[in-house]
Amino acid sequence: MADERSASVRIAGEIAERIRAGELRPGERVPSTRQIMGRWGVAMATASKALAMLRQEGLVRAVPGVGTVVAESVPGRPRSSGASPRASLDRAHVVRTAVAIADAEGLTAVSMRRVAAALGVTTMALYRHVPGRDELTRLMADAVFGSARLPELPAAGWRRRLEAAARLQWRLYRRHPWLAQAISFTRPQATPHAMALGEWVMRALDGLGLDPVTMIHIHVTLAAHVRGIAVNLEAEAEALQQSGVDDEEWMAAHMAAKLATPQGAERFPLLAAVPERSLDLDSLFEFGLQRLLDGIDVQVAEARP
């Protein structure tokens, strides 16, 4: 029992330090119970106690449909200067505020009026910096992509580079579940940071005998795979908040329970043979990523001089 409390205190302290340092900003989601269990290797009760400690300190709050997010006013964090919102308002400030709202309440909650209210300015004042919600959404997505640095990897390691790019995108979608809804592959937005990611991936493939059309198809196919799984993240977060049951628990209570009956096992023997808790969004992302990379490996081998 003492060890469990000690672990809870340690985990809560590490997350609190990230919050007070500004690494986790107001409105951003903190690690969930399941993420804490996986990252720190603790039981669910320990992870839940860590989050409860953060709530008691006023560092986080629960948001229906989203999860646990950093509170707007954090004890121990230095206060900003006394400048008025209007005096300090600029495009970057508007975008950061919109991202915080989307993180806490979902993309549908973001409107020019809602962002203006959060900033304490009129909606017309906001239009001086952003022409409308569509442009604001584009800037939000670009800001999120710009918040992550692409790692430096050996020039010869094309597979490692592509894998790193895919994992970077998955982390961003995990951190900002609304992001997948803001990205379009039929009408892509030419944002600077998204284009930088595409250029980085194509540089990893350059010199392997692939033409530019093939290289851009590889980049977009990988990105589409990541987004295709990520579009479920926001709905999963909402379902978890409303029901208190995560996707693995839901599968166990519904699918597994039906397949465990004699009738289910007889009618669907292959489905019944699948172990519980072996299918979730992370496993789907990982499986698809590796199979795509395997296929690209074959194409690279065929294209080499």
CATH 1.10.10.10 in the chain: give the residue spans. Answer: 2-70
CATH fold of 149-305 reads Tetracycline Repressor; domain 2 (1.10.357)
Instruction: Provide the b/e sequence for 7-35 (b: ≥16 CB within 10 Å).
Output: bbeebbeebbebbeeeebebbbbbbbbbe
CA 174 to chain centre: 2
CATH fold of 2-70 reads Arc Repressor Mutant, subunit A (1.10.10)
Helices 158-175 and 192-205: crossing angle in degrees, nearest 10, is 160
CA 138 to chain centre: 17
Contact 69, 60 (CB under 8 A): yes
Q: Which residue has the higher pLDDT, 155 or 163?
A: 163
pLDDT, tens only, 213-222 = 999 999 999 9
CA distances from 65 to 50, 55, 177 (A): 21, 17, 11
pLDDT, tens only, 226-267 = 999 998 887 766 666 555 656 666 566 666 666 667 776 778
Q: Which residue has the higher pLDDT, 207 or 88?
A: 207
pLDDT, tens only, 171-212 = 999 989 999 988 887 666 667 888 888 898 898 898 889 999
pLDDT, tens only, 9-67 = 889 888 988 888 777 888 788 888 888 988 898 888 888 888 888 888 888 888 765 67
Q: What is the pTM for the complete model shown?
A: 0.65
CATH 1.10.10.60 in the chain: give the residue spans. Answer: 85-146
Q: What CATH number does the domain located at 85-146 have? A: 1.10.10.60
Q: Which residue has the higher pLDDT, 188 or 84?
A: 188
Measuring CA to CA, which residue among 2, 30, 3 is closest to residue 16?
Answer: 30
Surface-to-core class of residue 278, CB atoms within 10 Å of its CB (0-12 exposed, 13-18 middle, 19+ buried): exposed
